[in-house]
Structure 1
């Protein structure tokens, strides 16, 4: 059975991790291809879902790294734009718990320069689901263009949004102002507990889900790291535990979770509309699969999601991990 096409729209980011320096007074970095939407596209393709990535790829050294990584994972880049601007760079420091703290180098980079003409050329006829989010939806000048593209796609495709709030680059107020519009056009909203605290400070998960359902989005999934995830379908909720695993780092775990969620929904024939046939049991089952994908991502360095063959292996048994 051929799974439905998922189109992902958003940024690539060069994730640079500090590593032991070869000599005193030097800083050594290991650079891996990343960026939330790019990670999601890679994870989808590796799971076996046809994944098309709408990206603006620079021709610099990082852009060539992205290109090789995406192609090797089987991502369709036929609709990607070759960009003259430089790539976005993020420098990450990993703490003892595997959590990353970032500094970004993103001024005037390729990812945010979308034009209406570039996206107007994209054929959405075969797209069952369009996923976007993160910085591409909030950084101008391209953010408004991307939002308008999602609104157009919502006429024929399931719309998935991951806010992936990055307060170092864009003030949370910008996300808060736009989120009701995203909920009005989206069918799936996936975010982390950290995102929740930045978007609706002091709100419980239940209250936040009710607010976002009222704004129009039927399925909300909130990931909680080692405590698993909460899924809410128009107010009907289920808790999903996180698998046990040894955590190397959590980079890309949430993106892998999103890919696992969309892959499983697509495999069940539930993508391509307004999720009218979705039941809370289906959503919980998809989240359980997504949590396994995220846990495997946590077990390796950087945003390196698993291939479908790895999901057929016995689940890890030591420690905890989650998106």
Structure 2
């Protein structure tokens, strides 16, 4: 099983250009949530570890996980409201967000007991590693499970509006890297963070996504492999990076490569296949409004 740890929320996505304001359509979302759903749709045994509200939005979020085949036994529940994210869609389909997260359920996540023995990997990212007090609990989970030998993926998915002290966050981010097996960054993330981490003591591999320019992996052993983006007519980019996370984990699990040693052993051909699969999956997500990731049958062949 692969566990995804982090927030779930409701994206409020503008529809058209209504006046004086466009109507907002609620969609299930949150980077870790989208990653878990995408993994489940690809057929990977997946669990979600978070705190989810008992309100109507929270019930819908859990139903979305279950419909994708995601195990929710690690989900904490609470009466606090669900976080809301108001999306702004650019002319190129790119999405920006404003967050309403004060006092929300996912911020009150508490460190769970050690994860079940069946868990092979844990993925982290986005708001859950920023908003306290939950951020410290997720950080403790990352360090503990890495220390137990589990494979870890980190996608910081930077949301600058949520980070009050950029320098402090960058320092904290660097402190996570020794416990990260695979780091996924967008080009925007890398610029904001001041570059792509490299060298000993950090992740075994770093995947950099560059939108229409494709994606690249750089391994600790010095291998660098790039693939082009899959051609697509973009509806919006909501959930595209989360789909990449899921596709990477799915591809690595299929090759029994969920360890730093196995990552190091992957050759150019294997990485080309994994990255191309992730690019195709992300393209399908971009072709649909909202974070609607593909099912396995849509990627056959």
TM-score (norm 1): 0.87
In the alignment, which residue of structure 2 is the partner of 1:182?
Answer: 176
CA deviations on 1:148-169 (whole Å, 9 max, x unpaired) are 1111111231011111111011
Return closer, same or farther for 1:179/1:275 CA change in 2, 3 Å cut-off.
farther
Alpha-carbon distance in structure 2 between the residues aligned to 1:248 and 1:123: 37
CA deviations on 1:264-310 (whole Å, 9 max, x unpaired) are 00001111565355324233321111111111100101001000011
Map 1:10-25; keep pairs closer than 5 Å: 10-20=6-16, 25=20
SS at match of 2:28: strand
Alpha-carbon distance in structure 2 between the residues aligned to 1:147 and 1:55: 13
1:165 to 2:158 alignment: yes
Map 1:1-323; keep pairs closer than 5 Å: 5-20=1-16, 25=20, 27-116=22-111, 119-120=112-113, 122-154=114-146, 155-171=148-164, 172-200=166-194, 203=195, 208-210=196-198, 213-234=199-220, 235-272=222-259, 274-275=261-262, 278-281=265-268, 282-312=270-300
Return closer, same or farther for 1:27/1:246 CA change in 2, 3 Å cut-off.
closer
- Shift in Å, 1:175: 3.0
What is the aligned-residue RMSD (CA, Å)?
A: 1.7
Return closer, same or farther for 1:280/1:125 CA change in 2, 3 Å cut-off.
same
CA deviations on 1:68-124 (whole Å, 9 max, x unpaired) are 2111111110111111211110011212210112111011111121223xx12x533
Alpha-carbon distance in structure 1 between the residues aligned to 2:49 and 2:184: 20
Structure 1's unaligned 5+ residue stretches are 314-323
SS at match of 1:55: strand
TM-score (norm 2): 0.93
Alpha-carbon distance in structure 1 between the residues aligned to 2:286 and 2:109: 32
Alpha-carbon distance in structure 2 between the residues aligned to 1:232 and 1:124: 31
CA deviations on 1:35-66 (whole Å, 9 max, x unpaired) are 00000000000001001000211011211221
Alpha-carbon distance in structure 1 between the residues aligned to 2:154 and 2:80: 26
Structure 2's unaligned 5+ residue stretches are none
SS at match of 2:138: helix
Alpha-carbon distance in structure 2 between the residues aligned to 1:73 and 1:44: 8
Instruction: Tell whether the 8 Å contact from 1:175 to 1:199 is kept in structure 2 after alignment.
Output: no
